[in-house]
Amino acid sequence: MIKVMIVDDNDIIRRGLRTIIDAADDLRVVADAGDGRSAIEAARRARPDIALVDIRMPGMDGLTATRRLLELDTPPHVIILTTFNTDEYVDEAIRSGAAGFLLKDSPPEELLRALRAVHEGHAMLDPAVTRQVIDAIADQAPRLSPQEKAQLESLTAREVDVLRLIGRGLSNADIGAELFMTEGTVKGYVSAILTKLAAENRVQAARVAYRAGLDSG
């Protein structure tokens, strides 16, 4: 059973998300909170596997809450909930270690798919969401550092091919279809890429791909 915590200051949104998640056989909401500070205490008690965190909340906002949650002894994966009127915070959220982003009006099946994928460690995001996240940081993304350039150069040609498609927001299944690989093979490449780039998740790898200009290839 995948344990989920919902953090959003809007009670209607929390209740709606809970209804969708609790209807799934393999998912259960174990806690919810209306602000970041309450979320930290709730996470300590309930030990969720995943926290859905609204990026804008009164008091302790979603960015601070994300950092604090990831500092816990048993940190949950964090998925940011956003309406994309918060572009100035997206890059910082990625660097804070958020595993992914979801639009608040995402279809229920996309929400459930993202929760399951993140729990498996894949940080699988809807391609449209990933694309919007990357576009949102385009104007503020700095050039690659010398260390990042060296990390990028350590990738094999095939790993670069996979990274390019990650940067375009493709899922593992879509990458496999594009490169004529099994999904399992793609997962192996993604794991190697994350290790070589010292990226915590797929979104951070996509950010590197964008900054390196790979996503448009």
- Sequence spans of domains, the chain: 2-136, 141-211
Q: What is the pLDDT of residue 82?
A: 80
Give mean pLDDT in consecutive 10-residue pieces for the chain, a chain of 217 residues.
96 95 97 95 97 90 91 93 64 74 84 86 59 57 79 95 87 91 94 92 82 72
Q: Quickly name the fold that domain 141-211 has.
A: Arc Repressor Mutant, subunit A (1.10.10)
Q: What is the pLDDT of residue 42?
A: 97
Q: Quickly name the fold that domain 2-136 has.
A: Rossmann fold (3.40.50)
Q: What is the pLDDT of residue 16?
A: 95
Q: What is the pLDDT of residue 97?
A: 79
Q: What is the pLDDT of residue 90?
A: 65
pTM of the model: 0.71
Question: What are the phi and psi torsion angles at 103 (to 5°)?
Answer: -70, 145
207-216 burial, b for 16+ CB within 10 Å, e for fewer? bbbbbbebbe
